[in-house]
Amino acid sequence: MENELLSASVRLSGKEVPGLAVRVLGTALMPWGASAGAAEAVEFGELAGWRRLSRLARELDAFDASMWRAPDIVAEHEDHALCEANGGSALFFGAALADWLGAWAAQSGRVVVALRNVAHAADLHAIPYWLARRGYAGCVATGLGVAADAGQRDGSGIVFSVASAEDDGWQYRAAHDPMAVPGAACSLLSALKHGAPPRAVFDALLQTGGNSREDVRDFAWLEGNDAVVVAAPARSLSGFIGDACAYAIDSQHLSALKARAMAEGWPIPRDEWERLMRFADRSLIRTSERSREGAG
């Protein structure tokens, strides 16, 4: 039997995956009121196979307390809005964005939010999962900001995700391939480059098809930190099941992954775990004699 202490990976319990994320993000001074949502995004990214903890370990030096800011709502209409995130992190506000979109979709049907200058934009791809879990459909398209090969290893290169409630559960699809992105989303992302897109480009999102090589060309040179997020009533995802949307997960599969993590633990590379733990330990406080009194 392999000696665990000598192995290249560390086995975390299912609870430790979000727990470690909370500790790390707290040390990075993310306000604790937002950390549960952020940890859930990390957990989803880990269970989905995108190695979100590994990416977190690489991001440690880049954390900056100014990232923990809410996006400014530049324009807000009946069923769409434009937000300027000013470098704010999707880890910080992603769960709240899902709350907003869900509540808004309940009132208005399909709603769209376009965001510019989002840090950790890949974490927006947890939003369709959250929306689908609550009985809606959602999709996210983000620009390409990283080399495709690196992005395919850790999820940071995902450009499109879509999910919907379905029967007793939900279905989720994601893709690294710009061809998976609906043409309307490409147009919207492209239009963001030139300011607030006209109303017309908000229409037709979450519709399948409509891609063209021209759209992809427009899309590919966009910055990686712009995004379009859509929420809508639940709908079939059959139109998104194609080669371009090769990555798929559903509620049953996610439950099985969680059950496996509970039973067997969740392995992460030892060096990354140590880096995350050392970073988190920076928030531990040297004790004065007075506060040490009575500790037990």
Partner 1 sequence: MELTHLGAIWPTKFSFAHSFLRTVCRMDFSCEISELRLDDAGRGHIAYRARLDGHTMTFVVFSDPLPEHQQQDRIIATRWDAWAALFIGEPSAEDIEQSREQIQQVTWGRAAPRTLAWSRANRSARLFEHVVASLAAGQQPDPRQLNQIGYLIRTTGFSGNGRNGMHDYAYLRQIGHPLQAPYHAQMMAAYLWREFGYDLALHLARVRNPAAVDLSDESRRFVGVGNSSGIGLVPFVVRHPRLLDRWIGAREQALAEMYRERFEADDSRCDEFDRQLERAIEYFAHEPTGDLDEFAPSEAIHAELLQVREQFAHLRAGWTAGASRSNPLAELLVSWRGRCCLETGELLNSLLLECHEGGNVDANTLHADESLPFDPTQKAGALKDLIETHLAWVSRFTVEGERPFFWYASEENMEPRRGSRDIDEGEQYALPVDVMGRVEELLSRLRAVPPEQTLGRFLIAHPDMRFMVGWVSTLADSHYAIARTDLLTKDFSPLRIMRFQLATYGMLKFRPRSRTWLRATLFQGAGLPRELAAGHAGDGLLPSVPHGYELTEEPLLGE
If one asks whether residue 170 binds partner 1 (CB under 8 A), the answer comes out as no
- Strand-pair partners of 81: 76, 113
Interface stretch with partner 1, choices 154-162, 164-172, 208-216, 260-268 (CB under 8 A): 260-268
The alpha carbon of 102 is separated from its chain's Cα centroid by a whole number of angstroms, namely 16
- Of the candidates 233, 242, 265, 269, which one interacts with partner 1 according to CB under 8 A? 265
Smaller CB separation from partner 1, 82 or 180: 82
Task: State which amino acid sits at residue 260.
Answer: R
If one asks whether residue 248 binds partner 1 (CB under 8 A), the answer comes out as no
If one asks whether residue 263 binds partner 1 (CB under 8 A), the answer comes out as yes
Residue whose token pair is 């709240």: 96
Least Cβ distance, residue 263 to partner 1 (angstroms): 6
Q: How far apart are CA 184 and CA 105, in angstroms?
A: 19
If one asks whether residue 70 binds partner 1 (CB under 8 A), the answer comes out as yes
If one asks whether residue 10 binds partner 1 (CB under 8 A), the answer comes out as yes
Count of CB atoms situated within 10 Å of the CB of 282 = 11
- Strand-pair partners of 229: 113, 140
Task: State which amino acid sits at residue 150.
Answer: A
Least Cβ distance, residue 32 to partner 1 (angstroms): 4
Q: How far apart are CA 272 and CA 129, in angstroms?
A: 26
Site string for partner 1, 76-115 (x = CB under 8 A): ----------------xx-xxx-xxxxxx-xx--------
If one asks whether residue 168 binds partner 1 (CB under 8 A), the answer comes out as no
How buried is 87 (Cβ within 10 angstroms: 0-12 exposed, 13-18 middle, 19+ buried)? middle
What are 59's two structure tokens? 């991001």
Q: How far apart are CA 39 and CA 255, in angstroms?
A: 17
Least Cβ distance, residue 2 to partner 1 (angstroms): 8
Least Cβ distance, residue 256 to partner 1 (angstroms): 12
What are 176's two structure tokens? 């690294």
Interface ranges with partner 1 (CB under 8 A): 1, 3-5, 10-16, 19, 26-27, 29, 31-37, 68, 70-71, 73, 92-93, 95-97, 99-104, 106-107, 259, 262-265, 277, 281, 283-288, 290-296
